[in-house]
Chain A
């Protein structure tokens, strides 16, 4: 034995690695809640009818055969669930008795594996403590994770090579899980020579702390090395270099944007190359299975989020141009000017009762003295980064794997609205961090980590509700999904899991019914449109509203490929969970959420608003599908499983442990995974926001939303505010109305399309002006030179999707000839008419 090694380390190094067998409990890394361990004996040794499970108390499931067989390979798998539970196991050897009372600080665990002299006594004390024991018999290994409801305790007795994987290699990354570096309160078992036996858990602690703690070098199987932080918990690994490459992509996109503003020919190519350079190196590194640990993964994820936020900011770095941002710029400015909340906002009336974002923006703007647009960029950026960070923390806690957490966040970055809509200065961006915080806190509360997490959950529910209506509804649904999964997968039923969704429903309902009643009407219209479209589809009726906007074939192929890839991964994980009889409630919740994601994608074909509704829905449903896809990619879940001895392939319980791919197989998997995620990203950029025709900033585009905002429109809006004063009813095209209602502080009138399309001014038009109470009309002459890139010039455009030629000069110029109409503003491009009602 090597003198430099502890007895256990030497033993671990000397013991050959057991190859994966379909019936043996080989070395396992899948110990966390998103990992899957079931007794392999379940399939081969079904329980006798009527035989009782070896539960001493409720909440503990022991899947070992009972009564015990004299099977040297026998394995008992315990999920303590209930911290109060007590399990008594005799796996294999009738003389080996293990008594575990996890959770109770006063509990004592006693293991007498055959040899009366080999006795380990454990007093966990801390419910989150971890004990890893090799009592007496060097070949008997017990791993206990008390306290954690989702933890798994594994006792392999006696397994000849059970500790082939040293405890250090099982080192988890989340405190409260094994080998966290926390001081162990477990009494070391005594060796025959009176010395303290080596506690692998302690070894793991040192391993986590890095070599600085004098850890002896242990031989760690190659596939396990990635779980061991090489340079300690703060080892950033290759993240700085990867982010350096990624930042070069940001620079490339900056040049592409500059080229777009100058209408340079190569700008689109530079844009796509830049997007890939920003994104793909990070994904490659996250999938490489060689990461240093949490610090590297977290840095990569946050670095990617920052880089991608910069891509959004650089699109319009000098001012807000996106219509939604302009609406919330106004809401924030109103708070800043009046010093009060809940003041009317003509640009977006429902936002009045969801003032969270405006409060944040007003606070930062007033404290710094910076303009609202600058403060808003800061607030949106911080909120976006917090959202990504909490998502990482949530998945890290549920998976205990920095790779899974990192890949989840990277895949989520391919959501349709991630790059722009979810990071703009709008109220959903403010609500998303609280949404995710509520899920995270609820998770920790359900883990039994204390009432403070319940309080944080309730607080986060309240903050989400105050910030954004749809996010609040999504939070209720998500909490309900997670709770139902917990109730369904645990015996006895944990009905207390339903408390949080009930609280969330009460809070959201109270806010909507008592404070924000107008939001019901606001959300009613798109919902009714979807319902109407479904009805028309069922009855084979056709109308303009039921037809979705056409999508290019290339875009369809790209997005379809990504979706099919996701679906294959989803099916692989689902098959794996079903065949393993998975009982992890969070994993099942993610699976159900993934199903909702695929169903939600069908909404995009339901009418004109379908794509937008599907995109908004994916902001929430993309979280679970990202988790599922990350599990599949990181854990190398078999898409095409090998046949078993009987030639069956699909519905056979998979081997308990399958060695992860190495060598060429690993390279191929990493490349394939990175390619899939990159395709998803490209599909999201092509199908998300801004639209494909406006991916680059540039000169004015009719009906181009942010591409329609330029100095001429802004000047006209500013004139409306300074000369006319606020509150007049102003109509115009999409952009004119948006600018008039925000910078101009006017009351927008959106149903004016027919006034423009009329070739001649008629009494009907006069009547419409009167009916709408229209005071002023904004006419942009460029509407007569360009087709609208969004298929519509106006909101509620009567010719949306059917416009084949621009408005004519006569249609645009007919207002000049109206005797009762004043043209009070002219900047050569934008003209403003007083319609006689003012």
Chain B
């Protein structure tokens, strides 16, 4: 990692944290995925393995691995410290770890690397120019110097030509690289498209298969009877379909006598009502669809 990459990483970290804490959900998702799976690991890899020889594969897998580790450890630390493990904690802790690693990199790793570089410019700067008085060169010496300069010029020219040739080679290689990227990434784009299609097929199929309307009749556990020997029964009917409505709710006693009967409109698909019923007998609550002669849903409420 170079200085520019470190600064870029720091900026992205701050932006990701801000996105998680304050931005709309699409940006928050992007920021959260970066903070959760990538940024802390990237920074830690640079700091921890600065002196190690690592393969690209190892660096690639270490970033998400260490990021997951940061989530686990920050959760344990936050819990031990009594902090609520909420959005702010996760975002701030992941960002803080990333920035702390970058600070360590900036304060410790980078200076060490700079010190290790051959300090050509530094040596030149420290060179003290001492004025000297030169005698006029002899003709032989002048000829020798002229030859040297000519040789030097030839060498420089050759070096320039070599550099130019190398540059052309590099440009050709870059063109080839770009062509290869197209050759290799076009199939990968198709792969993404096919996988996206497969995902869509699955989601649609699952939605059509499992997301069915469930019509239910339920009652909250009845409470204790009041002084009149009655109790309140709170009933709920969900998943009511307009095509099946209006529904009819019938409450009968143990002897088959009707206690209550009312029409339940399908409405928005849900109905809730409270009935005052005698507590001393077992009741049967039945829901009928429009036109039904047999019970569609049935509840039993035991005598208290």
Contact = CB atoms under 8 A, between A and B. Distances in A.
Chains A and B come from one and the same complex? yes
A180 B185 CA distance: 26
B218 A255 contact: no
A317 B206 contact: yes
A128 interface: yes
A258 B48 contact: no
B69 interface: yes
B85 A362 contact: yes
Contact of B184 (A236, A247, A303, A316): A236
A233 interface: yes
B202 A825 contact: no
Given A240-B185, A838-B221, A254 B299 contact: no
A453 B54 CA distance: 12
Interface stretch (B70-78, B134-142, B145-153): B70-78
Given A711-B212, A819-B303, A823-B299, A244 B57 contact: no
Report, as a range, how many residues of chain B touch the other chain. Answer: 35 or more
Interface stretch (B60-68, B99-107, B241-249): B60-68
Interface stretch (A365-373, A635-643, A732-740, A801-809): A365-373
A180 B53 CA distance: 11
Interface in B270-304: 282, 296-303
A592 to B, nearest CB: 26
A724 B236 CA distance: 13
Contacts of B185: 240
A836 B282 CA distance: 14
B56 A255 contact: no
A715 interface: yes
A307 to B, nearest CB: 7
Contact of A368 (B32, B207, B219): B32
B169 to A, nearest CB: 7
A363 interface: yes
A382 interface: yes
Contacts of B238: 715
B27 to A, nearest CB: 10
A455 B47 CA distance: 13
B28 A214 contact: no
B112 interface: no
Contact of A335 (B32, B85, B194): B85
Interface stretch (B86-94, B119-127, B223-231): B86-94
A715 B32 contact: no
Q: Name B's interface SS.
A: helix
B201 A258 contact: yes
A233 B180 CA distance: 13
A607 interface: no
B249 to A, nearest CB: 13
Interface residues of A, number: 113
Interface in A707-760: 710-712, 715, 719, 723-724
A572 B272 CA distance: 73
Interface string B167-197: 0011001000100100011111011001101
B22 interface: no
A176 B51 CA distance: 12
Given A355-B75, A364-B32, A369-B28, A176 B53 contact: yes
A820 B56 CA distance: 69
Contacts of A339: 84-86, 89
Contact of B218 (A258, A370, A824): A824
B191 A244 contact: yes
A261 interface: yes
B85 A310 contact: no
A523 to B, nearest CB: 22
Contacts of A711: 210-212, 214
A43 interface: no
Contact of B87 (A313, A366, A819): A366
Contacts of B64: 382, 385-386
Nearest to B180: A231
Contacts of B170: 212
Given A257-B202, A367-B28, A369-B29, A393 B61 contact: yes
26 contacts: A175-B54, A211-B173, A214-B169, A235-B180, A236-B184, A239-B184, A244-B194, A247-B195, A251-B198, A254-B197, A254-B199, A258-B204, A294-B56, A355-B76, A364-B32, A368-B20, A386-B61, A386-B64, A440-B58, A453-B52, A463-B69, A710-B210, A715-B238, A826-B216, A826-B298, A828-B296
Given A253-B198, A444-B52, A825-B218, 5 more contacts: A240-B188, A369-B29, A382-B37, A697-B209, A715-B238
- The 10 closest A-B CB pairs, nearest first, are A367-B32, A389-B61, A240-B187, A359-B75, A339-B84, A258-B205, A314-B202, A254-B198, A175-B53, A261-B209
